[in-house]
Structures are given as C-alpha cells and as structure tokens.
Structure 1
C-alpha cells in the first residue's frame, strides 16, 4: 500500500510539473532601475512653489521614488534629509517640503502658512537628490539614510546625474 501511495504521489508531481503555455513578455529593457539625480540651484517663491523633474525614461511600475534635501554640511559631509519634512519656525509658522511622483516625473513642493515670510535660506539655491529604488530593495534598506540607499544600490557619488534646475525652466 505504501508503494502504491508513493507511486501515486510521484505520478501526480510528474503530471503537475509538465510544461505549460508561455508566460507574458517581460520588460523591453527601457525601464529605469536604481538611478539617482541631483537637482541644483532650485529657487522657490510664493508663486513658484513646485518644481517638476522628468525622468530620462519611465521608471518601473512598483519601484519607489525617494527625495532628499541637502540640509547642510558637517565636517565636509553632506547632510541629506528625507522628504517629506516639516520645519517649525518662530511663532506658529511652518515650512514643509514634500513630493509626489508618477512613472514619468517627480514634483517637489514647498508649502507654508506664509511663503512670503520664509527666509531665503529655505527658498533659494536648494539642492535635492532623487533616488529611484527598485521594488525588491524597498524593505531591505533604511530609506531615511541616503548613504545606506546609495550603498544598497551599489552607486557612488560619480554615478549621480547632476541637473542644474535653471536648465529645466
């Protein structure tokens, strides 16, 4: 009886493992995987509080886009702050940097209860880094740490595509 059961299981596995119809076609190779951009010289004001950056090519559906703002420099090391972030100013004022994205572009937005009152330190000559993170890496890396993201992607600073915002206008 045991031999018959083993034979039945073997035949069932053999029958199930037969080749089936061909699956759907994969990506054609034009999708962007794990890229990083630096956007320099970004100036915001009360009228133009949003910038849009087009990707060189569409990103893969399911990948994540991360945006970081250069918050300062300490001992010659850049301090990258992940967005969204809110800065509370004197009194009851606030400033918020946030972003949204599609498969083709990313928008970086600055908001406040009074953009006219915000210091130029927060509005002019801002620098942002945009990272496209493949979906299979999303749960494996601390996305609040720009250096960790770059290490996980295997990218160095010379791999970052620098874009002067003035050329996007």
Structure 2
C-alpha cells in the first residue's frame, strides 16, 4: 500500500497540472465606431413649412437602435434639461391631442409632431411650449447581443446614459 500511495499522488497532481493552463479562448476586440453608443442634440422650430418635423442624418447599421428624447423645458433659460422619451402624447384643452414621435432608418432620423387638430391653430403660449426652439437628444445604440440581457429602462434617460457610458454632446 505504501508503494501505491506515491503513484496515486503523482497521478492526482498530473491531472491538476494538465487541466490548468493559461490559454484563454476569450478574444478581446476593440470596438469599432459603429459599436459605440453615441448621442447628439438637435434643435429646431416645428412649423407648417417643415411639416412640423426635423430631419437629421445619421450613420448606423440596420440592426442598431435609435432613441429620441425631448427636452421638456427647452424654452426655459438656465434650467437643467428634463428628457422625455418619444413618443410622447400631450392632452391639450378642448380635447386636442398633440404627439411627438420619430422615424428612423440607417441614414436619417425624422422627429415630428402631429395632432388631432390643425397645429397652426395653437395659441402663442402653446406654440412657444411645443413648437418653438425644441431640443431633442438622439441616442444611437449599437445592436450588441451581449448587452441584451440587462438592458436599461429606456424611459429613464439617466439609466441609458450610465449604462452606455455616454457623455453630454458638445
């Protein structure tokens, strides 16, 4: 039995030596520009001349995602921005409904407003709040299957910024 003990120990140790190596199968890739979440601001006035829309060019893959937030207090000077995810519906007086929404494809984002009434009939105060100098933040998010498991709540602007490590546009 004493002669078998060293052979047994040698066999046990050789299993550990063979099974432990330093070769990782993990491949680390540097992100390409399209793999990085980006954001930028767009400001404009929604008028009948531009069909109550703002268009801006982008460059994303067809599998990527676009989020658009509206600065709720765009027209208030010296205030901290409050970002609302689009689409967003507002219920105005007399049963009027105003909605902000957007469409996108790999090369363009169109942000628009529409309502169940003629937007040209808005009062000056309503026009100042909903049409004049509106600021929108466009967030371009790459389709990353590794991040799909624990996506942030896209309604929470701060959670999206933190999750994707975004910085304020300049």
TM-score (norm 1): 0.68
The 3 A distance-change label for structure 1 pair 31 and 156 is: closer
1:95 to 86, 92, 98: 98
Aligned-pair CA distance for 1:149:
0.7
2:47 to 45, 48, 61: 45
2:156 to 139, 145, 150: 145
Structure 2's unaligned 5+ residue stretches are 1-31
Helix, strand or coil at the partner of 1:148: helix
| Match status 1:80 vs 2:107 | no
Once the two structures are superposed, the pairs formed by residues 1-169 of structure 1 within 5 Å of their partners are: 29=32, 31=34, 33-40=36-43, 42-48=44-50, 49-55=52-58, 58-72=59-73, 76-112=79-115, 113-118=117-122, 119-120=126-127, 121-136=129-144, 137=147, 140-157=151-168, 160-161=169-170
**Higher strand proportion (structure 1 or 2):** 1
Check whether the contact 1:93–1:114 (CA below 8 A) recurs between aligned residues.
no
Superimposed CA distance per residue, residues 117-145 of structure 1 (whole angstroms, 9 cap, x where no aligned partner): 22222110100000011223455111011
Check whether the contact 1:33–1:60 (CA below 8 A) recurs between aligned residues.
no
Aligned-pair CA distance for 1:30:
5.7
Structure 1's unaligned 5+ residue stretches are 1-28, 162-169
Aligned-pair CA distance for 1:76:
4.5
Query: Which structure has the greater CA radius of gyration?
Result: 2
Helix, strand or coil at the partner of 1:91: helix
Alignment root-mean-square deviation, CA: 2.2
Aligned-pair CA distance for 1:77:
3.1
The 3 A distance-change label for structure 1 pair 101 and 37 is: same
How many residues are paired up? 128
Aligned-pair CA distance for 1:32:
6.0
Q: Which runs of 4+ in 1 moved over 4 A?
A: none
